[in-house]
Amino acid sequence: MGNKAIFITVRTDSKRLPHKALLEINNKKVIEYVIENAKKSKKSDLIILCTTNLSEDNILCEISNKHNIKYYCGSVNDKLDRWLGAVNKYNIDFFCTMDGDDLFCESLFVDMAFEQYEKNNSDRFIVQCFWIVCSR
């Protein structure tokens, strides 16, 4: 089926909450929780942190090195271009994305998308939405 990857899309230049992926919860950065969740995938061949080529995002590359995952630095304004650059650099055939600030993205759901890709042997766009309903 070719190379399958999880792309963690993240940058530090957030408008509403700057540096949100670098905020700490229990002495661990948000992005580190996301990386840990991605590493639980049983279907991914590679995890790649996709960030921008701005110098302020170098810290994200350092974090990816610390966690032994790959990274790609690309366009500041176009994450699709970043994804394409990572696809080309790492020879990726299919990828799923996780947002670098999404603490609730589970590798189980990502693996379900990989399974759908493997089952259908397709090169179409697969979108899976999972809603968690919380009641009080």
Q: Quick check: is 130 in a domain? A: no
CATH number of the domain within which 20 lies: 3.90.550.10
Q: Are strands 70-74 and 94-99 parallel, antiparallel or unpaired?
A: unpaired
Task: Please tell me the distance from the alpha carbon of residue 22 to that of residue 59, in angstroms, as a whole number.
Answer: 9
DSSP three-state, residue 77: coil
For the chain, what percent of residues have pLDDT higher than 90? 62
Tell me the mean pLDDT in the region 91-100: 90
- Return the closest-CA partner of residue 74 out of 83, 65, 62, 66: 83
Cβ(70)–Cβ(64) below 8 Å: yes
Cβ(79)–Cβ(51) below 8 Å: no
Confidence class of residue 133 from pLDDT cuts 50, 70 and 90? very low
Q: Quick check: is 131 in a domain? A: no
Residue 3, token pair as written in the block: 């190379």
Q: Quick check: is 129 in a domain? A: no
Q: What is the pTM of this model?
A: 0.86
Tell me how many domains the chain contains. Answer: 1
pLDDT tens digit sequence for 15-59: 888 899 999 999 999 999 999 999 999 999 999 999 999 999 999
Domain that holds residue 81: 4-120
